[in-house]
Amino acid sequence: MPPRKKPASTASSKPPSRASARIQSKAPVSAGQKRGHSDSEEETNKKPRSKKAKAAASKDEDAEDVKDMEETKKMVTVVKRGAAPVDPGSPYVDTHQVYASDGEVWDAMLNQTDIGKNANKFYVIQLLHPIGNNSFSILFTRWGRVGETGQKQVKGPFAAAQAIAMFKKQFKDKTSSAWEQRRTMVAKKGKYTWLERSFEEDEEPEEKKAGPSKEVKEEEPIPESALAFEIQELCRLIFSTRRATFLLSSLLTFLNDTPSLIEAHLSSMNYDANKLPLGKLAKSTILNGFAALKALSEVISDPNCDTAKQLGGLGNACVDLTGRYYSIIPHVFGRNRPIVINEMTILKKELELVDALGDMEIAQKLIQTSVMTDTAGKPVNPMDAHFRSLQLSTMDPISPDSKEFRSLVAYATDSHGATHGHYSINIKHAFRIEREEETQGWIAAGHHKLEAGRRMLLWHGSRSTNFAGILRQGLRIAPPEGYMFGKGVYFADMVSKSANYCYTNLSHGLGLLLLCEVAAQPFFEQYDANYNAADECKAAGKMATKGLGEWQPTKWQDAAVALDNAALEGCVMPDGPARNLTPAMPTPGMMYPSLFYNEYIIYDPSQIRVRYLLLFKMNNH
């Protein structure tokens, strides 16, 4: 939940266009056939003889694939066979597999963004051999603008040694780096960047699943889910798949042609999941994305820093560094010029994207690796398997007729911000949560012994697609770049402040909120943004930074009594609605908050303990 200065609500009910994250389908090229593109990407046998000719060839690379644009686009289906999936734009998806030898997978996804030239392009290189016959391979290449199918070419077939040599040559031509140095390569201007993809096994080998069997066993039926009805609805939301996205009963409905929630959220952030699919996203790519944004943060924060000077000033530095970032984290901009990251508001959105990629990657991995049988080898319902993969100590639905549920609803009602009156929040389900890892860390740090009032029950909101990762690994410390009060996890005492970070417009108005017990007092209070707050808070001997808002809860109560939950004894929560404490007539010399509402920033994960998860429906007025 990254902070914003007096944020405007993002709670629109109108779903955004998702076309930008889809790529068009084309009729496959027959084996050995080449498309006519004599001047594009140096794919002909003749090389440009002059700088002018080379420049023309590079220009034609982008111009040539304009003809591939179609109005009707669809998400590609990736078929994995062997060590890596065959490129979905290849005509050999059903007949070939990627060549692998001596631990090497001969597959490369390259990306290049040059904002000055309005270039935002990809390049795929693969060695492909017929299924079951790796005695020879073809060199398959495909290139074009990110978000489009582009052009393709096939060379060969070649014997193994020659095919590998051709692959390495093509890789070096495009990157100016040797294949062997790809993991340490430094991207060069005008050249492509290699995108590392994970090729970990996540399913049974294709041959094992599809191979003939002498004894055909009758497939056992999938049992009904053993989960509580409320947990089933939660799982449908956080483990959304393309063909079963939303809502059971009156709350969730099967929408056969609706993209998954993950696709919708990635599309809204312009991320190209076709180039780096979740489930194949290497951890190093996410870290490199953060590193690129860190460099941008430095030049935006200090236009006179050494990096900015070396790159020709703030403007040139932002253009150059933005191109490097988009080369690592592919974005779809269509034919529009890529957006330059030159201010903190844009930087924060990209930080949120890269942070969200980590959580969405976890969700995808959990879906792919969930064990679909019980200890006796009997099949289990996939939803139950996905839920089990979260490894929660407890998740118990709370009865709507209980005092606990009514008090949670009252907290949400009373803490709805006065500036957020254009929508309301309807709590559908509430769950008690416990994560063993958090409990152990909390007790080890001695936070359970803090005197009454120093622990607070506070809100945290995030995209629903992030929650599988959050529930599995807990809330993690946000990266420091671009965050108003430094590196930490952000909480609120106003539900609508947190709900604005749930992006419910992408999930038919549904969202998820956490209520966490937070070891927060004493506070390091701040009236305005302070990007060094993390260090200053620690130096001052405080537990958390409190960014002061104009609207504040005026009364607090023991959460154990209010919620009928003895485990929260000594933890406090607001009692009644907030009030605007800022005087109508400012007094000269007095400090006044720059935020509408309070926010609390925690810098140590051991100070956080998830207590409740709430599934809500946002209704626009």
Could you give the residue numbers annotated as active site? 599
What gap in Å lies between CA 8 and CA 562, rounded to an integer?
A: 31
What gap in Å lies between CA 510 and CA 53, rounded to an integer?
A: 54
What gap in Å lies between CA 589 and CA 602, rounded to an integer?
A: 30
Q: How many CB atoms lie within 10 A of CB 4?
A: 18
Task: Give the residue from 167, 168, 170, 118 showing the smallest Cα distance to 145.
Answer: 118
What gap in Å lies between CA 150 and CA 258, rounded to an integer?
A: 25
What gap in Å lies between CA 178 and CA 176, rounded to an integer?
A: 7
Strand partners, 458: 516
What gap in Å lies between CA 562 and CA 574, rounded to an integer?
A: 10
* Single-letter amino acid code for the residue at 76: V
Residue whose token pair is 């990096």: 307
What gap in Å lies between CA 238 and CA 360, rounded to an integer?
A: 10
Beta strands in 175-247 (DSSP E): 193-194
What gap in Å lies between CA 594 and CA 438, rounded to an integer?
A: 33
What gap in Å lies between CA 512 and CA 498, rounded to an integer?
A: 10
Strand partners, 122: 111, 144
Q: Tell me, what DSSP letter sits at residue 184?
A: G
Strands 549-553 and 595-597: parallel
Residue whose token pair is 């607070």: 456
Residue whose token pair is 């932002």: 318
What gap in Å lies between CA 113 and CA 192, rounded to an integer?
A: 8
DSSP 435-488: -HHHHHHHHHTTGGGSPTTSEEEEEEEE-GGGHHHHHHH---PPPSTT-TT-SS
Torsion angle, alpha carbons of 263, 265, 271, 275, to 10: -20
Asked if residues 112 and 191 have their Cβ atoms less than 8 Å apart, the reply is yes
* Single-letter amino acid code for the residue at 440: Q
Over 377-414, what HEC string results? CCECCHHHHHHHCCCCCEEEECCCCCHHHHHHHHHHHH
Supply 430's token pair.
């509430």
**Strand order across the beta sheet in which 423-434 lies:** 394-397, 423-434, 608-620, 510-519, 455-462, 571-574, 556-558
